Every structure is written in C-alpha cells, then in structure tokens.
A and B are shown apart, each in its own frame.
Chain A
Amino acid sequence: MKKYLAIAKTLFKAQIVYRFDVLMTALGTVWRVVFAWILWGAVFAAPAAASGAAASLTIGGFTFQEMLGYYVVASFLASLDLSGGVSGEVSTRVRDGSFSKYMVIPASPQFHFLAQNLGASAYYAAFSVAVACACAFFFRVQPVHANSPAQLLLALLILLPGLAFMVCYHFFVGILAFKFQDVGFFLHVQGNLIEFATGAIVPLALLPEGAMAVIRFLPFPYVTYMPAMLICGRAGVAEGLFGLAVVAVWLAVILFVNRCTYRRLRIKFDGVGV
C-alpha cells in the first residue's frame, strides 16, 4: 500500500504545476452555480408570478435558495471527481502503445491510476472548498444544512469509495481499448449518461419514482448526489448508510471485474509503436 500512497503524494505535488487546470476547474464550479441560478431562477419565477407567493414556492421540496445551495455543494463535490479523463487516457495509451510503461513497473495499473487520481483530487479539494465558499457567499446561500455530525461524516465516508469507484469505472472503459479499436463514441455516450446519473445536472429527487428505483441501486448517485444531499440536510443517516453500502459493494465488484478484465484483455496488447 505504501507505494500507492507514494503515487498519490507525488501526483498531489504535481498538480501544483497545473495552475491553469485548477483554475479552469474552479471556473467550472462557478459556471455550474451560475447556470443553476439562471435556469432555476426562470423556473421558479414563472409560477411565482402567477401565484404571487415567491418565497415559499418549492420545487421537489427545494426552495430557490436551497436549490442553489444544493448546486454549490454538488458542484464542489463534482469538481473532485477527476476520473473523467482516465478512460480517455487509458484507451489512448493502449492504442498508441505507451500503456506499456504501466506494465513494466511493479504496481498494478488499476491501483496506479486510482492513487494518481485520488492524489490529484485531494489537491483540487483544498482549492475547490475556497471556491465553493466564495460562491455560497456571493449567492447568499447557506449550503450546509446537515443537522447531525453523522450526516457530514457519512458524506465523507461515501465520497471516498464513490470517487474510487468512478476512477475504476473509467479504467474499465479505458481498458476496453485492448479489445475494441474505437471506444471514442462509447466514451462520449457513457460520459453524458453518467453525468446525469450522478445528479450533477439535475437533482435526482426530481426524477420520477420508477427511474429512481433503478438508479438507487447504481453507484453513480452516491458519488456526489448522496454526499451533497447529506450535507444539505436532505438525506438522513439511514439513506446515507444505504448509499454507503451500495457504493462499497459496487467498488468491490468493479475492482474484481477490472482485475479479471485486465488480465484477460492485456494478453491481446500488441504494444504498437517503435
């Protein structure tokens, strides 16, 4: 384990170089909140004008301010999920042959990417907290509504395996390139679906019952949605524990699946390139 800690630490340090990337990510967070402000501002404004009761209007149980609060927290959490690039990087490396560099060092490529990613996430976390606070202040929302420390603790506990799951999931998509020549289109489609299923686009509470019943057992909502709901005081400890269990099971499953898949598929690697 020590070596993976070293990878995470090294990547944490390396992020300092990417000042521009970090800045862009921060701007991304701000943009999501602004986007929500415009979108939900309009949504809330229309019926409010009709009924004349603006302040008390709720959609899906959220007032306008609470909705913004959710977006601040969810955007912050989403900015920690840096896994999106993993599938692209892995598949590119497999196809151009440079994946070999992960095959000759004594570390499992999956854990290597995991450590690398979480190390970078830790760095973004420090930075994004500041941005989230600034957003909360600017839009005058109070995002943290958790009424017990257990909820906050659970949010953290879910976040870690959640982020890990996302990296592993993307690693899985990436190593499919060992078998399939073009995974680009697939990458694109699954990227959109996941962003939706994680609740980063729309709070999942707004989805119809039937859809929720399925999504409940998928890991994606627990990466950012559940922790965000916990922090906003919208989800209770029981829901949190359920989420933790789902994420933990999925993480174990994907780790195992990746291990088997990698072993099977890497045999096909023809290490193109000079």
Chain B
Amino acid sequence: MDQPYIIRTRGLTKVFRRFQKEPGLRGSLKSLFHRRFSDKIAVDAFDLEVKPGEFVGLIGPNGAGKTTLVKMLTGIIAPTSGELSVLGHYPNKLENAFKKRYAVVMGQKSQLFFELTPADTFRLFKELYAIPDDAYQRNVDFFVELFDVSGLLNVQVRTLSLGERMKMELICALLHDPGVLFLDEPTIGLDAVAQRQIRAFLREVNAARGATIILTSHYMEDVRSLCPRSVVINGGKKLYDGPTAKLFDAYQTHRKITVRFESEQNFADEQGSEGEKGSEGGQGSEGGQGPDHGSRFALPAGAQTLERGPDRLVFMIPRERSGAVLAELTRRQGLGISDIGVEEEDIGNVVERIYAGTNTRAEV
C-alpha cells in the first residue's frame, strides 16, 4: 500500500466519439444501422505523477480536458489508452474498496439527493461508506461548524442556494476521510466569502488531514493560494508542471488595471494604437484630441486597452511597471480618478503565453 505515487498516469488518452445523426425520424432510423462518428481527442498522452499529501492545481482554458481527466481518474469514464493507477487501483474497475478511499466534487454536478435533507444524506453516506459512529460525528460537527451551516441541515437539498449546496457537497465528500479528493471547479459561481470559506476548508483538509487534492479552477486565486504545484493543460496536452509560484512568476507577466473616473471622460488619443484588443469603438467620436495632455488621462506607455467605458478604462500593463504606473496615477490629482483596481491576468493569457513558448513581453 505504501506506493510512492498516489496517482500515476502514462500516456493517458481519451478519444471521444461524437455520434452524428441526420435530422428527423428517417435520420434516426438510418443511424440505427449506419452510424457516423467524429473523433475528439480530449486528453492526449497525459503523464502525471502525484505524491501523497500533494495539493495540485489543474488549470487550463475551457475545453482543455480537465474535467475529462478528472473523470478518468475517478473511474467515471474509461481511458481510450494509456496507463492509469490511482491509490493502486485501476479506477474504471469501480471497486468498492477504491471508491471508499477517494471523493469527487464537481461544481456543476451534484452528488446529493435533491429530495433529501443534508442530515439524511450524511446519515445515508455514513452507512454507504461504513463510517464508524465517532468518526462520523466528529466530521459532521467539525465541518458544519467550519462552514457555519448548522441551520441548513434539515431542509431539502433542492431548496439550498448554490453556495450552500456546494458546502454540503464538500462535507458529504469528506465524511469518510478520503485519501484523495478530486475537485472540479468547486468554487464556480460562489461569492467571495464562500470562496474564502472553501479555501480554508480545503487547506485544512490537505494540511491537517493529509488528503491529497487535485483541484481544477478558473479562479487564479484558488490555485495560487492553495496549490504549491500546478499543472497546465491545453488541448488535452500538458503544457506546464511545476511550482505554482514559478508559473505565475514566469508567465503571468501583466497586471490588469481598472481606472474609474468621477465623470465621463473623453479619452485622449491613446498612446500608439498597439493591441487594442477589446475596444470595439466604444468611444464613437474621438473628437477633440488636443495637445493639452496636462489634465487629460493618457494611457501609460506599454499599456494595452482591454475595455473602455464612459467613466472607466481597463488596460494591461507589464507586471514590473505596475508599481510605477500606479504611483503616477495616484500622483496626478487633476485627472479626477475615483478608483483604481489591480487584478491578476486570467488564465487564458497565461496559457497562451506558455503555448507560444515565450515569456517575453512581446505583444500578441
């Protein structure tokens, strides 16, 4: 049982066959005999090794193959080819001994029974997993306290809000003290408070309980604050596997800055016209572009406009210049700036950059 790796895949591949049917009843009948398929490689020769106790973030844009990978790791779907071992089992055999040792929570799917109350569900899971009384009680008390959901235990699951349900899903998944926890976008659609609570929960589960966790999320903050190690996947292939800090350092080269103004602006001509990605002529008439730059807002050098509103401007700036730009913005009071927000770049850009195999500041 003491294997060095808790998860190990070699050349793991999943090819989906998409069934294509002609429209109408005739098409249906015809397709009973003559099926036409198109193939889609969702996960492509994927190698992954995870050691016990690791907390791995799985990131990639939509359609990258993250969920497909998680489905294979949990045995829900069978791989098309490649080797796969989780906790020493081949997941798709669906052995009960295996199922009792992991848990999976998918943000978009429910493991709960909608007609039951959480309390009933917990008790049902206690029996399903043969959880000893004391361990069960300890876990329920602990997690219910942590999430502050004691008031919701006796209402039907279907009446819970998304965030409330997600907390219950997580509690339910952890009742049997799984050794491995798979999480597919557990924080999707949740508010900041719930996201923080869930992060605290996951940190606890990983650190104090020693569970190995594989987490996919589109929220950079989840991965950055939870996962020491990140795996980036795109088009079913692994692009990066290493320390999260290094990933962000090397590839998250820009910051997103949102500037709000007290009144509507007639933005001066942007410096240069480089990379105006998202500006679909938001500012119809850019009339008076006078030379008086003194009281008018001008985009800092090297910035890329992302969005422009009447009283709002969003742009990207190379990370190492963000300090200087912010200082400049706050220094110039005449501009009438009411608010400045600084955010991380989202995963799409990071992946694009890794994909391009470059971490230079080259404009795309």
Contacts and interface: CB of A to CB of B under 8 A. Distances in A.
A20 interface: no
A7 interface: yes
Contacts of A6: 123-124, 126-128
A181 B18 CA distance: 12
A106 B21 contact: no
A13 interface: yes
Interface in B92-131: 92, 94, 96, 99-100, 103-104, 106, 108-111, 113, 115-116, 120-121, 123-130
Interface string B71-90: 10011111000000000000
A106 B71 CA distance: 16
Interface residues of A, number: 28
B75 to A, nearest CB: 7
B8 to A, nearest CB: 20
A269 B124 contact: no
A3 B75 contact: no
A79 B190 CA distance: 43
Given A17-B156, A270-B16, A274-B108, A3 B115 contact: no
A55 interface: no
Contact of B104 (A3, A104, A269): A104
A30 to B, nearest CB: 25
B67 interface: yes
Given A3-B130, A267-B78, A101 B124 contact: no
Interface of A: 2-3, 5-7, 10, 13-14, 17-18, 97-98, 100-101, 103-107, 181-182, 266-267, 269-271, 273-274
A11 to B, nearest CB: 8
Contact of B113 (A14, A100, A270): A14
B19 interface: yes
B99 A104 contact: yes
Interface string B236-261: 00000000000000000000000000
Contacts of B106: 274
22 contacts: A6-B123, A6-B127, A7-B124, A13-B120, A14-B115, A98-B109, A98-B110, A100-B76, A101-B111, A103-B75, A103-B94, A105-B99, A105-B128, A106-B129, A181-B19, A181-B21, A181-B31, A269-B76, A270-B17, A271-B77, A274-B67, A274-B109
A106 B109 contact: no
A269 B31 CA distance: 19
Nearest to B17: A270
A106 B116 CA distance: 19
A182 B28 contact: yes
B15 to A, nearest CB: 10
The 7 residue pairs across chains A and B that have the minimum distance between CB atoms: A6-B127, A106-B96, A106-B99, A274-B108, A100-B76, A3-B127, A271-B76
Contacts of A274: 67, 106, 108-109
A87 B67 CA distance: 27
A103 B96 CA distance: 10
A270 B106 CA distance: 16
B30 to A, nearest CB: 13
A3 B109 contact: no
A106 B128 contact: yes
Contacts of A13: 116, 120
Contacts of B121: 10
B92 A14 contact: no
A17 B154 CA distance: 13
Given A17-B156, A18-B115, A100 B124 contact: no
Contacts of A104: 74-76, 99, 103-104, 111
Interface string B30-54: 0100000000000000000000000
A96 B31 CA distance: 20
B350 to A, nearest CB: 22
Contacts of B115: 14, 17-18
Nearest to A103: B76
Q: Which of B28, B124, B130 has the most CB of A within 10 A?
A: B124
A87 to B, nearest CB: 19
